[in-house]
C-alpha cells in the first residue's frame, strides 16, 4: 500500500528540475501513506513520484517508480494484487502456440507482475487482476500514460486535467499543495456534500479536480485524455434465476468467501483483523482461523459508555477462535482530546471515519501493517434496513393508487405531529410523484433536505441529483433482481463515497493497509447475479449466515445491530460546543454560504429541535475546518 503522484508538463511551462521539486513536495504531503521509502522519476514530459509501505517483497529492488528491463516503461502503483503469484507463473511461461515471450522477473513484487501483464495484454490485463489498485504506467517510447483504478474504487486516484496538463495523486491534498490547482470550491459539490455528507464521484469538492471512477482506465497522449469503463457491477454480474439448489448456493458462497479471505492473508508482514463482534467481522475472523496456524491478532475499540459498547460480542468470537485479542478502551476524554487533530488530518471532508482512525492507530502500535475488515458485507448481503424497507415499498404498489394530494396531506399531518428528521423524510416520500426505489432511495441517504441545502447555499439549485444519475446508470429493472439493484446502488453511492474513502484516508494516516474480503470480484459478481428468492430479506444477511453455518454462534447471529458510535449529540452541545462555534465561524467569509442559515441551524440544534440532527452540524464543522486548513476559495 502506497501513495502515487504524477505531473505531465505538456506545454513545457515547467522545467524538469522545477517539477522534481514539486514532486518532492507532493510526496511529502502523502508521506504517511508510505513511510518505508520515497522516489521520483522524470523526463522531458512527465515526473512521477511514489511513497512506499512495504507489504510484498520488502527489498529495495521493489521500490518505485519501478522501471522495466529495457527502461521503456515506468510504473507507480498503490494497492495489492492478491492473485499475483498465479499471474506471475503464467507470465513466466509461454503457452503453446502463443507469440508472447516469457517474462523474466527480477523481484517478487506484485508491482512487477502488473507491469508484465500490461506489457503482455495491454488494457485487457485489468480483467486478470483480483485486488485493489490504482496505478499509472508511462511509455517512454509512445509518450503515453495508462492509468487504471480497481473495480470498486477501494484505492483512490485524484487528477486535474487542463490544456493538456495532467497532475494526479492518491490524495487531493497533494494536488492542492503542488500549486497546480485553482483551489476553487465547487458549488454543486458543496450542495452535494450538504445534502449527503459526501461528494459523489467523479466530482470532488474542488472545481478543477476529479476522481477516476471505479472500473475505469484513463489514457493520456499528445495532450488529450480518454476514459474507458472496463468493469461495472451491472454488466459483469450474471443472472442466476432458477434450477439451483439452495444448499449448492450456500456452499458456493462459503467457498468463494473462504478463498477471498485466504487471498487477503498473503503478506510479507503481519496480518490482523478488525473485530467489532458483528456478523461481517466475525465471519472474517472465523474464515481466517480455519486457514492459518497460530493466533490471529484481532482489534476492537470499546467505549467507556456501556450502552455504546460491543466488547462482549467481540470477546465471544475472540475466545471461540483463540485470537490474540486487543481490546482498545477509549474514554470520552481521550477522544475529545484527539478530535481536533483527527479532523485536521482529513484529506477529504466527511463526518464518518473517526472510529477507523482510532482503531487503525492502535493496530499500528501493535506492529501490524495489514488488517482485514468487514466493509462491504452490508451492501452485498442486504444488511441494512433499507433493503427490507425498499423491498416492502416496491411490493406495496397500492400506495401509488392513492391520489397524490391525499398522500401529501397525510405526510404533512404526520410531520406536524412528530416533527423530527424521520417524519420529515416520510413527508418527502409521500410527496413523491411515484413511490418507488428510483425516487425514494436518494431520500433515505439525505442528511439535509434539498430545501435546507438550498437555503444554506446562496442562489444554487442543482440540475440533476447525483444519486438519480447513478441510479439511471445502474438499475436493471427486473423484478426478480431488485435486491441486487439495491446492492449496486449502495456500492456506487454510500460504499464508494463514504465508507471506502474514509477507510482509506483514516487507515493510511497510520500507514495501515485495510483489505476487504467482501469486495472480492468473484464473490461480488456471484452474489449480485443471484435471484431475490435466494437472499430472503426477512433476516438481514441470511444468505451469508446460512452459508457459514455453525462458524457463527447464535449470540452473534441474533444480536442487535449496533455499530461503533459516539454520543455526538451530547458532545456537540457540551464538550465540543466551543470547538464547533469556532470552526463554524470559518464559513462566515465563504461567499457561497448563507451564514445566517448556519447560525439558525446551530441555534435550533442547541435548543433541542429534533428536526436538526447532530450529523447536520458536525458535517458543517468538518467542512468549515477543511476549507480553512486547505485555503480553498
Dihedral sign of CA atoms 56, 58, 62, 63 in order: positive
Angle at 59 between CA 269 and CA 263, to 5 degrees: 40
C-alpha cell of residue 64? 518505485
What does the alpha-carbon distance between residue 445 and residue 200 come to, in Å, rounded to a whole number? 12
DSSP state of 103: P
Cβ atoms within 10 Å of 485's Cβ, excluding its own: 24
Task: Tell me whether residue 125 is one of the annotated catalytic residues.
Answer: no
DSSP state of 70: T
Place of cell 484529506: 347
What does the alpha-carbon distance between residue 525 and residue 239 come to, in Å, rounded to a whole number? 9
Residue 179 to residues 15, 25, 225, 233, 631, Cα–Cα distance (Å): 15, 10, 22, 37, 11
Catalytic-labelled residue, pool 2, 125, 382, 580: 2
Element (H, E) at 81: strand 73-81
**Residue in 566, 541, 567, 535 with CA at minimum distance from that of residue 556:** 541
Q: Where are the alpha helices (DSSP H) in 51-186?
A: 84-91, 110-121, 172-178
Cβ neighbors of 567 (< 8 A, separation 6 or more) are: 305, 308, 332
Per-position DSSP letters for 3-27, written without gaps between them: EEEEEE-TT--S-HHHHHHHHHHHH
Catalytic site positions: 2
Amino acid at each position: 500500500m502506497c501513495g502515487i503522484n504524477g505531473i505531465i508538463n505538456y506545454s513545457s511551462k515547467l522545467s524538469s528540475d522545477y517539477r522534481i521539486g514539486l514532486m518532492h513536495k507532493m510526496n511529502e504531503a502523502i508521506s504517511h501513506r508510505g513511510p518505508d521509502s520515497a522516489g521520483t522519476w522524470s523526463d522531458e514530459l512527465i515526473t512521477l513520484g511514489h511513497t512506499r509501505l512495504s507489504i510484498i517483497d520488502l527489498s529495495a529492488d521493489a521500490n518505485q517508480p519501478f522501471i522495466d528491463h529495457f527502461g521503456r516503461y515506468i510504473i507507480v502503483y498503490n494497492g495489492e494484487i492478491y492473485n499475483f503469484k498465479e499471474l506471475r507463473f503464467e507470465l513466466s511461461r509461454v503457452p503453446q502456440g502463443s507469440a508472447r515471450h516469457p517474462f523474466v522477473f527480477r523481484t517478487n513484487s506484485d508491482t512487477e507482475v502488473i507491469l508484465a501483464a500490461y506489457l503482455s495484454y495491454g488494457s485487457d490485463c485489468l480483467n486478470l487482476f483480483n485486488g485493489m489498485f490504482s496505478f499509472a504506467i508511462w511509455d517512454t517510447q509512445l509518450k503515453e500514460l495508462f492509468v487504471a483504478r480497481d473495480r470498486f474504487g477501494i484505492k483512490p486516484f485524484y487528477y486535474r486535467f487542463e490544456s493538456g496538463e495532467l497532475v494526479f495523486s492518491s490524495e487531493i491534498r497533494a494536488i492542492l499543495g503542488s500549486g497546480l490547482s485553482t483551489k476553487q470550491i465547487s458549488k454543486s459539490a458543496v450542495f452535494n456534500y450538504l445534502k449527503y455528507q459526501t461528494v459523489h464521484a467523479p466530482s470532488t469538492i474542488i472545481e478543477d479536480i476529479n476522481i477516476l471512477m471505479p472500473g475505469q482506465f484513463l489514457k493520456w497522449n499528445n495532450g488529450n485524455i480518454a476514459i474507458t469503463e472496463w468493469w461495472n457491477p451491472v454488466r459483469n454480474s450474471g443472472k442466476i434465476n432458477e434450477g439451483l439448489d439452495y444448499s449448492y448456493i450456500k456452499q458456493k458462497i462459503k467457498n468463494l468467501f473462504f478463498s477471498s479471505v485466504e487471498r487477503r492473508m498473503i503478506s510479507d508482514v503481519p496480518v490482523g483483523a478488525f473485530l467489532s463482534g458483528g456478523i461481517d467481522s466475525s465471519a472474517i475472523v472465523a474464515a481466517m482461523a480455519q486457514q492459518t496456524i497460530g493466533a490471529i491478532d484481532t482489534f476492537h475499540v470499546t467505549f467507556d459508555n456501556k450502552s455504546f459498547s460491543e466488547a462482549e460480542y467481540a470477546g465471544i468470537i475472540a475466545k471461540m477462535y483463540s485470537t490474540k485479542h486487543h481490546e482498545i478502551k477509549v474514554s470520552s476524554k481521550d477522544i475529545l482530546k484527539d478530535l481536533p487533530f483527527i479532523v485536521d488530518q482529513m484529506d477529504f471532508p466527511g463526518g464518518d471515519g473517526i472510529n477507523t482512525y482510532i482503531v487503525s492507530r492502535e493496530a499500528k502500535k501493535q506492529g501490524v501493517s495489514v488488517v482485514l475488515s468487514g466493509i462491504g458485507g452490508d451492501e452485498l448481503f442486504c444488511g441494512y434496513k433499507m433493503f427490507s424497507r425498499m423491498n416492502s415499498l416496491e411490493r406495496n404498489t397500492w400506495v401509488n393508487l392513492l391520489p397524490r394530494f391525499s398522500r401529501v396531506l397525510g405526510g404533512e399531518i404526520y410531520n406536524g405531529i412528530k416533527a423530527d428528521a424521520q417524519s420529515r423524510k416520510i413527508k418527502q416520500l409521500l410527496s413523491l410523484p411515484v413511490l418507488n426505489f428510483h425516487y425514494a432511495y436518494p431520500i433515505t441517504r439525505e442528511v439535509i433536505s434539498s430545501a435546507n441545502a438550498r437555503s444554506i447555499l446562496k442562489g444554487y439549485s442543482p440540475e440533476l441529483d447525483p444519486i438519480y444519475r447513478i441510479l439511471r446508470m445502474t438499475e436493471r429493472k427486473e423484478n426478480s433482481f431488485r435486491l441486487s439493484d439495491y446492492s449496486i446502488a449502495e456500492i456506487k453511492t454510500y460504499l464508494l463515497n463514504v465508507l471506502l474513502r474514509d477507510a482509506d484516508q483514516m487507515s493510511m494516516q497510520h500507514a495501515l493497509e485495510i483489505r476487504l474480503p467482501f469486495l472480492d470480484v468473484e464473490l461480488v459478481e456471484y452474489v449480485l447475479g443471484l435471484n431475490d428468492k435466494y437472499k430472503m430479506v426477512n433476516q438481514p444477511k441470511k444468505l451469508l449466515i446460512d452459508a457459514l453455518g455453525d462458524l457463527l454462534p447464535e449470540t452473534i447471529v441474533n444480536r442487535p445491530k449496533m455499530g461503533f458510535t459516539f454520543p455526538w449529540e451530547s458532545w456537540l452541545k457540551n464538550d465540543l460546543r466551543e470547538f464547533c462555534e469556532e470552526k463554524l465561524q470559518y464559513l462566515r467569509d465563504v461567499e457561497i454560504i448563507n451564514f445566517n442559515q448556519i447560525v439558525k441551524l446551530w441555534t435550533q440544534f442547541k435548543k433541542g429541535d429534533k428536526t436538526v440532527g447532530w450529523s447536520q452540524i458536525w458535517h458543517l464543522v468538518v467542512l468549515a475546518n477543511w476549507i480553512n486548513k486547505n485555503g480553498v476559495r
